[in-house]
Structure 1
């Protein structure tokens, strides 16, 4: 998105080609903000799951899951939010992309109560936990199983807008115990997709010789079950 213009040049071109300018203009004017309003802030404060999209300097994309107890994604003010990064599999794909390219896209989805989603797009930076904690007095200190973040991703909000409920399934939380802070392959899911034994197309020895293990989700991921349409699930 260019500064001062809502929507990308590509969006505008396709809207013109497919004749959707009027619908798009209404969405931009009615639904898209450049900050978080009180209802968005309240919504973020009760979510347990966020999907984070990043890309490196060349535009190669990655999408990752972050999760935790309600409030794990902390709203600092109407234009700034932060989420924690814990010890994970050591790859740091999302953080590596942010180091090269600060643009991030976040979507939070309420699968349980309101069946609605919120997009938050912005510019991110990486801040070590002690540094951010010294700057933000109310930064959450109560984390699952006593885990402390190693660092935070701080996002300056540029766009915030609704994701409609049309295709969001209703789910119901179910109790699920997680063990965190382990390098035990089995506890992390083992080689669930049989990647270790699958021949690679590349010929780079450094990848061919390294065992592939299932990635460890970096924060608490609650369990959910899908509730059939027509039932409340509450």
Structure 2
């Protein structure tokens, strides 16, 4: 246990920090046998069914110094190709060209994936090693609306397991009555306030408006 002063923007606060796994276990305890032993190294048929129906996942990467990035990936359900029981492929689609995750993978191939099924509060987690491909025969199976990916992420699986529902249930994520999309400014107004202050709001609203979805694969 370590007590130290933390200087926040508003004031300096005293915090007590956990400094070892032993201290973590003293606070939280040990997992039960089912949780401790649920990790597998190969896909089960049930995992394949989940991947065939999932349209969305988060991809976690880290660079050589351990600085992390998490990027959302989405496409029609089944966008992740299962090449065999230990290998996946995920197409890359047009984006902002920052390539944060890909640049991380070039330095550190370890990746984490969390697959979401809309309406379900459990998720499928996959950890493994990533490789960036610029072509492969299966790229032809990744064409969506005429877009054949220029790159794909190949993941060699190390760990597969399901994550419980608690976080989704606590957040009420799938309960429409809890949704408040207008509680914060629109994407156009966020861009105006942070990223593009010199661009007229009307232009940003047009960019992020109804036609935005038509340019997803352009």
Question: Normalising by structure 1, what TM-score?
Answer: 0.63
Q: Is 2:190 the counterpart of 1:192?
A: yes
After superposition, where does 1:75-224 map in structure 2 within 5 Å? Answer: 75-112=82-119, 114-129=120-135, 132-133=136-137, 136=138, 141=141, 143-168=143-168, 169-170=173-174, 190=188, 192-193=190-191, 194-196=193-195
Q: Cα distance, 1:160 vs. partner?
A: 0.8
Q: Which runs of 5+ in 2 are unaligned?
A: 1-18, 177-186, 198-206
The answer to whether the 8 A contact 2:87-2:154 is kept is yes
Please state whether the residue corresponding to 1:91 is helix, strand or coil: coil
How far apart, in 1, do the equivalents of 2:175 and 2:43 lie? 26
Structure 1 or 2: more helix by fraction: 2
CA contact (8 A) 1:68 1:220 kept: no
Assess, with a 3 A threshold, how the Cα gap between structure 1 residues 14 and 156 changes in structure 2: closer, same or farther. farther
Change (3 A) 1:33 1:56: same
| Counterpart Cα distance in 1 of 2:81 and 2:128 | 15
- Does residue 61 of structure 2 align to residue 54 of structure 1? yes
The answer on whether the counterparts of 1:35 and 1:158 sit within 8 Å (CA) in structure 2 is: yes
The correspondence for 1:27, drawn from 22, 26, 35, is 35
Deviation at 1:14, TM superposition (A): 5.3
Q: Give the alignment's TM-score, normalised by structure 2.
A: 0.67
Cα distance, 1:98–1:164 mapped onto 2, change above 3 Å: same
Q: CA RMSD in A?
A: 3.1
Q: Which residue of 2 aligns with 1:206?
A: none
Larger radius of gyration: 2
CA distance in 2 between partners of 1:33 and 1:142 (Å)? 27
Q: Number of aligned pairs?
A: 171
Q: Distance in 2 between matches of 1:220 and 1:77?
A: 29
Q: Which residue of 2 aligns with 1:201?
A: none
Greater length-normalized contact order (CA 8 Å, ≥ 6 residues apart): 1
The answer to whether the Cα contact below 8 Å between 1:72 and 1:140 also exists between their aligned partners in 2 is no
Q: 1:191 to 1:124 in 2, by over 3 A?
A: farther
CA distance in 1, matches of 2:64, 2:143: 33
CA shift at 1:71, angstroms?
A: 1.4
| 2:204 paired residue number | none
Specify whether residues 13 and 41 from structure 1 end up closer, same or farther in structure 2 by C-alpha distance, changes over 3 A only: farther
